[in-house]
Structure 1
Amino acid sequence: MARWIESWMPGSGTGSMGRGGEGHPGQRFGLPAEGVSSVAGFGRRLAALVVDWLLGYLIAVLVLGSDEIGGPNLPWAVLGIWFLLTAIPVAVFGASAGMTLLGIRVASIDSAAVIGVPRALLRTALIALIVPPLVRDSDGRGWHDRAVRSIVVRTRA
């Protein structure tokens, strides 16, 4: 039986594969169990987010000056810069700097090469809300990935 969230959350249903079934994460999308193009683990995804956030923090401090450290404007500047550093590269290339460093990328579950600008903006906005990435399905897809019909895969073993 499908979970109640699937009735209003776009994306694929959980089906019979996943934690309780015989399948592996991403199997319903035709992804391998391990190696390149397999579903990226939570640790890699979190590490990529941290790299992107630190890069945004560094750029914000360089732009605003070190006097702003601890000030009220710095967190908003970091958020805005992180948003741009994440959404634009994901829309165009499928990966941010942190994702590229960690060997992962955002893949569309349909036939598109990249998810494009509107979906990347929505995905990044939902990540900024913190909760959507933490609520994940059996394929490791958070609400942000389900909403834009994407999945994060490995680009190297």
Structure 2
Amino acid sequence: MTNPHLPAAPATDPTFTPPSLGRRFGALIIDWVLCLLVSNIFGGSIQHPWLTPTVLVVEYGLFLGLFAQTPGMYITKIRCVNWHDGGRIGVPRGLLRGLLLAVVVPALIMDEHRRGIHDRLADSVIVDAPRR
């Protein structure tokens, strides 16, 4: 049974069109700058180069798992949802997606739905955020 108030799951929606790469990249830049600011509070990324990517992974895990959006995604009006049902991906898969995104290479190899390897392994997809 489907909920008429929720959009169709991206995997089963023949009209699904992913957001532009520009919006995705913009969200990543915003999130990266926020992670740099946070990591500088905890000792700086110069002394601890692993700190900023770690903050990014934690940010993705918590924000995607709980809210389906990072702060950068909120600003660029996109969200990350489950590929098969359109719901939240949860904290463990958010952490996995963030970890794989920190590696960068998986994000460069995309399919026709602009799902990188990190999205396919986390069973996620980036979609337009609903307008309020």
TM band (smaller chain): 0.7 to 0.9
Q: Which residue of 2 aligns with 1:126?
A: 100
State the TM-score, normalized to the length of structure 1. Answer: 0.70
Question: Which amino acid in the other structure matches residue 47 of structure 2?
Answer: P
Query: C-alpha displacement at 1:31, in angstroms?
Result: 5.8
Number of residues of Structure 1 aligned to a counterpart in Structure 2 = 123
Q: Higher Cα Rg: structure 1 or 2?
A: 1
SS at match of 2:42: helix
Structure 2 residue 76 is the aligned partner of structure 1 residue 102 = yes
Q: Which residue of 2 aligns with 1:77?
A: 51
Structure 2 residue 18 is the aligned partner of structure 1 residue 39 = yes
Deviations 1:127-153 (Å, cap 9, x if unpaired)?
011000110001111011111221100
SS at match of 2:50: helix
Question: Which amino acid in the other structure matches residue 13 of structure 2?
Answer: G
Q: Which runs of 5+ in 1 are unaligned?
A: 1-25
Q: 1:30 aligns with which of 6, 9, 13?
A: 13
Structure 2 residue 29 is the aligned partner of structure 1 residue 50 = yes
> Partners of 1:154 and 1:72 in 2: how far apart?
38
Query: C-alpha displacement at 1:124, in angstroms?
Result: 0.9
Structure 2 residue 129 is the aligned partner of structure 1 residue 150 = no
- Residue 78 to residue 41, structure 1, CA distance change in 2 (3 Å): same
- Residue 112 to residue 45, structure 1, CA distance change in 2 (3 Å): closer
Runs of 4+ aligned residues of structure 1 deviating over 2 Å after TM superposition are 26-29
> Partners of 1:96 and 1:77 in 2: how far apart?
18
- Residue 102 to residue 31, structure 1, CA distance change in 2 (3 Å): farther
Q: Which runs of 5+ in 2 are unaligned?
A: 1-8
